[in-house]
Structure 1
Amino acid sequence: MMTTAIAQDKALIAAEDIVRAARKTPARQPVVTSFFDEATFTASHVVHDPETGRAAIIDSVLDYDPASGRTAHDSAQAIVDFVREAGLTVDWLLETHAHADHLTAAPWLQEQLGGSIAIGGAITTVQDTFGKLFNAGEDFARDGTQFDHLFTDGERFSIGNIDAVVLHVPGHTPADLAYVIGDAAFAGDTIFMPDYGTARADFPGGDAGQLYRSIRRLLSLPRDTRLFLCHDYKAPGRDNYVWETTIGAERDDNIHVHDGVSESEFVAMRTARDRTLGMPRLILPSVQVNMRGGHMPEPESNGIRYLKMPVDAV
Structure 2
Amino acid sequence: MTKTDTVLDEATEQVRRARVEKCKRPTIAGFFDEATNTISYVVHDPATRQAAITDSVLDYEAASGRTSNSSADRIIEYVDAHALSVAWHIETHAHADHISAAPFLQEKLGGKLGIGRGIIKVQDVFGKLFNAGTDFQRDGSQFDRLFDDGDSFALGELETIVLHVPGHTPADMAFIIGDAAFVGDTMFMPDFGTARADFPGGDAGQLFRSIRRLLALPDETRLFLCHDYKAPGRDVYAWETTVRQQREGNVHVKDGVTEEEFVAMRNARDATLSMPALIMPSVQVNIRGGRLPEPEENGVAYIKIPVNAL
TM-score (norm: length of structure 1)? 0.95
2:291 counterpart of 1:295:
yes
Counterpart amino acid of 1:82? Answer: Y
Distance 2:4 2:91 in 1: 19
2:91 counterpart of 1:95:
yes
List per-residue Cα deviations over 1:247-287 (Å, max 9, x = no partner). 11000000000001000000000000000000000001000
Distance 1:73 1:193 in 2: 27
Tell me the equivalent position of 1:269: 265
Tell me the equivalent position of 2:186: 190
1:17 partner SS: helix
Tell me the equivalent position of 2:43: 47
Distance 1:20 1:191 in 2: 19
2:17 partner SS: coil
1:78 partner SS: helix
2:245 partner SS: helix
Counterpart amino acid of 2:11? Answer: V
Choose 11-20 or 133-142, whichever is displaced more. 11-20
- Structure 1 residues without counterparts, runs of 5 or longer: 1-9
Tell me the equivalent position of 1:22: 14
Tell me the equivalent position of 1:200: 196
Distance 2:140 2:255 in 1: 36
Contact 1:59 1:104 in 2 (8 A): yes
- Structure 2 residues without counterparts, runs of 5 or longer: none
Counterpart amino acid of 2:162? Answer: V
Counterpart amino acid of 1:262? Answer: T
> Residues 46, 291 of structure 1: CA spacing in aligned structure 2 closer, same or farther, 3 A cutoff?
same
Percent of pairs with identical residues: 64
List per-residue Cα deviations over 1:27-52 (Å, max 9, x = no partner). 52100001000000000000011111
Contact 1:155 1:166 in 2 (8 A): yes
1:178 partner SS: strand
Tell me the equivalent position of 1:6: none
Distance 2:70 2:18 in 1: 38
Tell me the equivalent position of 1:256: 252
Q: How well do the aligned residues superpose, as a CA RMSD in angstroms?
A: 1.1
Distance 1:246 1:135 in 2: 42
Distance 2:77 2:303 in 1: 30
Tell me the equivalent position of 2:129: 133
Distance 1:168 1:251 in 2: 20
Tell me the equivalent position of 1:178: 174
Tell me the equivalent position of 2:218: 222
Query: Offset at 1:11?
Result: 5.5
1:25 partner SS: helix
Query: Offset at 1:306?
Result: 0.5
Distance 2:100 2:69 in 1: 11
Query: Offset at 1:122?
Result: 0.7
> Residues 224, 292 of structure 1: CA spacing in aligned structure 2 closer, same or farther, 3 A cutoff?
same
Q: 2:209 aligns with which of 206, 209, 213?
A: 213
Counterpart amino acid of 2:115? Answer: I
Query: Offset at 1:17?
Result: 3.1
2:29 partner SS: strand
Distance 1:78 1:86 in 2: 12
Tell me the equivalent position of 2:70: 74
Runs of 4+ in 1 over 4 A off after TM superposition: none
1:166 partner SS: strand
TM-score (norm: length of structure 2)? 0.96
Query: Offset at 1:26?
Result: 3.6
List per-residue Cα deviations over 1:122-143 (Å, max 9, x = no partner). 1000000000000000000000
1:126 partner SS: helix
